[in-house]
Amino acid sequence: MLDIKFVREHPEDVKKTIHAKHQEGTKGALVDQVLTLDSEWRALKGKGDDLRAQRNKLSKEIADAFKKKQKPEALLAQAKELPQILEATEAKALALETQLQALLAQLPNTLHKDVPLGKSDKENKEIKQIGKPKKSTFEIKNHAELIEGLNQADFGASAKTSGNGFYYLQNDIALLNQALIHYAIDHMVKAGFTYVETPLMLRKEVIGKVADLNDMNMQIYKIQDEDLYLIGTSEHSLIGRYIDTILSEKALPLKHTSYSMCFRKEIGSHGIDQKGLYRTHQFNKVEMIVVCKPSESMKYFEQLKKITIDIFKGLGIPIRILAICSGDLGDLKHIQVDIEAWSPRKQEYFEVGSCSNLTGSQARKLKIRVDPGTGEKYAPHTLNNTAMATSRALVAILENYQQKDGSIKIPTALHKYMYGKKVIGKPVKTEKKTSKKKK
């Protein structure tokens, strides 16, 4: 959500952002509507202030009249009417303010100068590749086929118990999943982040302010007959914790990280009906957020990005950094980069992490303010970053560390979390059944 002062002073800049995001069809008239409502609201607010001043003046005049033994009938009549007029004016002002806030929430955040212009994800821009993909001398198996053959996963059972988009992991792969969680958490704690355990469900008031409207419709699960929603990322809980809160500037920056199960409907997402770990309704994720002074947010953006890069470099996974273009950028976001891992099987990169600076847009929606001790309170900047979604990391490991005999090498960085194990076994050979001939 943009600051109304910014919209008043820079309406053309806001319109340029809408144009850059190719949203003229849906939001082209929003800026003018916001300015009209804002003008009407300020006029009513001014009228309300005048009425309150008039009420105070009348009270004083009535008191003075009584002191002088006078009968201020006319003044008393005015004083009787004023509360009703003031109440009606304030009600209209509140209704206009509610409408104004709803429209402001639809305006996209400003764009950082480094955001590439583009209409869709096809125009996202590669910034850098890190690590050289190795050429395989054998055919890389599909990760789901590979781990089922090793008796490490059961996708058939999960389809029967829960439907597509779920999985059973077991044996060494389940332990590898936990190893990834601990590996990522260790990175975060060493980087100075406070580890937090969060709720996995949030009220609508909170989820509606931490997630985009599109996410609410397409991604977030609602609990039937309850004012609760399952989180799609622990970022929702980490930042939602500070809804309607005034923070001391001395407490900044807040640097928090959390591991959680995450839940997403993934409506309209390609791949949800395919067996495997790549796109699922339930998955594990280590997330991080920062709440900081506006002047420091791009510094922390670079730090957060580096953490995810270092995590995957430590695993020996070839990656690239992808700048998200204007048309593919969520409305709350000022700038975003994705970290993508190399898939030897598909010979392309796929997303394993995402880092975003939301400047003050999310904080304003949540009514998070900072008290500097002297001067006016302000909205802090908020950032979030995926340290690791373990299901995606598992896919990257299963493809990049797969061996010709069907076994999987475990990245060296994870050995200490795997009880010293360095390889996940070989395929289980199934005996051929021979039917007995009837005599």
Residue extents of the structural domains in the chain: 4-104, 121-424
pLDDT at 55: 85
Tell me, what amino acid is at 434? T
Helix axes 390-400, 171-190, angle to 10 degrees: 120
**pLDDT tens digit at each of 439 positions of the chain:** 999 999 999 999 999 999 999 999 999 999 999 999 999 999 999 998 888 888 888 888 888 888 877 877 888 887 788 888 988 999 999 999 999 999 999 999 999 999 999 999 999 999 999 999 988 899 999 999 999 999 999 999 999 999 989 999 999 999 999 999 999 999 999 999 999 999 999 999 999 888 776 667 778 999 999 999 999 999 999 999 999 999 999 999 999 999 999 999 986 666 666 789 998 999 999 999 999 999 999 999 999 999 999 999 999 999 999 999 999 999 999 999 999 999 999 999 999 999 999 999 999 999 999 999 988 999 999 999 999 999 999 999 999 999 999 999 999 999 999 998 999 987 555 444 444 544 4
* Cα angle 94, 100, 106; round to 5: 145
| Catalytic position from the list 354, 356, 361, 391 | 354
Q: How far is CA 188 from CA 181, 262, 271, 307, in A?
A: 11, 19, 30, 8
Beta bridge partners of 356: 336, 384
| Catalytic position from the list 234, 260, 264, 361 | 264
pLDDT at 191: 96
pLDDT at 126: 97
CA dist., res. 22 & res. 119, Å (int): 6
pLDDT at 387: 93
CA dihedral 415, 420, 426, 427 (to 10 degrees): -80
Task: Identify whether 264 is a catalytic site residue.
Answer: yes
pLDDT at 438: 47
CA dihedral 389, 391, 396, 402 (to 10 degrees): 150
Residue (of 315, 316, 312) closest to 354 by Cα position: 312
8-state DSSP, 402: B
Q: How far is CA 425 from CA 172, 204, 429, in A?
A: 9, 46, 12
Task: Identify whether 203 is a catalytic site residue.
Answer: no
pLDDT at 169: 96
8-state DSSP, 134: P
Concatenated DSSP letters of 208-270 = HHHS-HHHHHHTPPBPTTSS-EE-SSHHHHHHHTTTT-EEEGGGPPEEEEEEEEEE---TT-T
pLDDT at 273: 60
Structure tokens that stand for 362 in this block? 């999310």
Tokens 């010293």 found at = 420
Under CATH, what is the fold of the domain 121-424?
BirA Bifunctional Protein; domain 2 (3.30.930)
Task: Identify whether 351 is a catalytic site residue.
Answer: yes
CA dist., res. 206 & res. 290, Å (int): 18
pLDDT at 270: 65
Tell me, what amino acid is at 140? I
434: alpha, beta or left, given left = phi > 0 and alpha = psi -120 to 50? beta
Q: Which helix (H) or strand (E) holds 269?
A: none
Residue 263 · residue 281 · CB < 8 Å? yes
Residue (of 323, 317, 331, 332) closest to 305 by Cα position: 323
Which architecture, in CATH terms, is 4-104? Orthogonal Bundle (1.10)
Task: Identify whether 234 is a catalytic site residue.
Answer: no
Beta bridge partners of 213: none
| Catalytic position from the list 90, 249, 266, 351 | 351
Helix (H, G, I), strand (E, B) or coil at 286: strand
pLDDT at 420: 86
| Catalytic position from the list 241, 279, 345, 369 | 279
Which residues, including other chains, have CB under 8 Å from residue 254's CB and lie 6 or more apart?
194, 242, 247, 289, 290, 291, 292
Task: Identify whether 279 is a catalytic site residue.
Answer: yes
